[in-house]
Amino acid sequence: MSVTSGNSRRLEQICAVAEQLFRDKGYLATSMRDIADAMNLRGGGSLYAHIKGKEDLLWHIANEATDAFFAALEAVCAQPAAPYERLRAAIIAHLLVITQHLGAAAVYFDEWRHLTEPRRSQFVARRDAYEKRFQALLEACIANGACRPIDTRLATLHLLSAMNAMRHWYKPHGRLSAQQVAEALADMLLHGL
């Protein structure tokens, strides 16, 4: 994973700080000196004992996010359930991953395009595979009669992008818990306003 040396505890700290800054200001607007400052280091150079370059941070965070989404989806699919219940569970699981990894979600949805090849293509391939799994869940619902026969491609694009848009307005420690927000959102997505 492109680590140069030693203490991987420290690497996780750097990634956590970078995640927050990438979400707040964006990848390009975040300098190595910003990250160093946020860790109480005096110069950006100190970070290079732990990483090979700035893009390593982006790559590491992007993969963490991808892993989290896949893990949540596979946990849902591992359990026996009717197509509709499975889709609903997958939606809620996806939303909960976002609420728990807001920084990584920003990288996963917005900042990934600053990856250079070939990592960018690798990322996109994994992302596409995840979307196909979701589309299959939706098609199972329609085949089952649990959903209206709508355009599945359009519906999948809408469903995923609508879920992902949650990162723009969800605030932790708000009036509702993450679980409550996720359930309410799943309800609106499945049954409308």
Interface positions with DNA (CB under 7 A): 5-7, 10, 30-34, 36, 40-46, 48-50, 52-55
Choose the one of a copy of itself, DNA, none that binds residue 120, judging by a C-beta under 5 to 8 angstroms depending on kind: none
Q: Residue 1 or residue 169: which is nearer to a copy of itself going by CB?
A: 169
CA distance 13 to 3: 14
* Phi and psi, residue 169, nearest 5°: -130, -15
Which residues have a Cβ under 8 Å from the Cβ of 124 and sit 6 or more positions away? 112
**Distance between CA 62 and CA 68 in Å, rounded?**
10
Which is nearer to a copy of itself, 136 or 166 (by Cβ)? 166
Shortest Å distance, C-beta 1 to DNA:
15
Alpha helices in 42-118 (DSSP H): 54-77, 83-100, 102-109
Residues forming the site for a copy of itself (CB under 8 A): 25-26, 28-29, 110, 113-114, 138, 141, 147-148, 150-151, 154-155, 157-159, 161-162, 164-166, 168-169, 176, 181, 184-185, 188-193
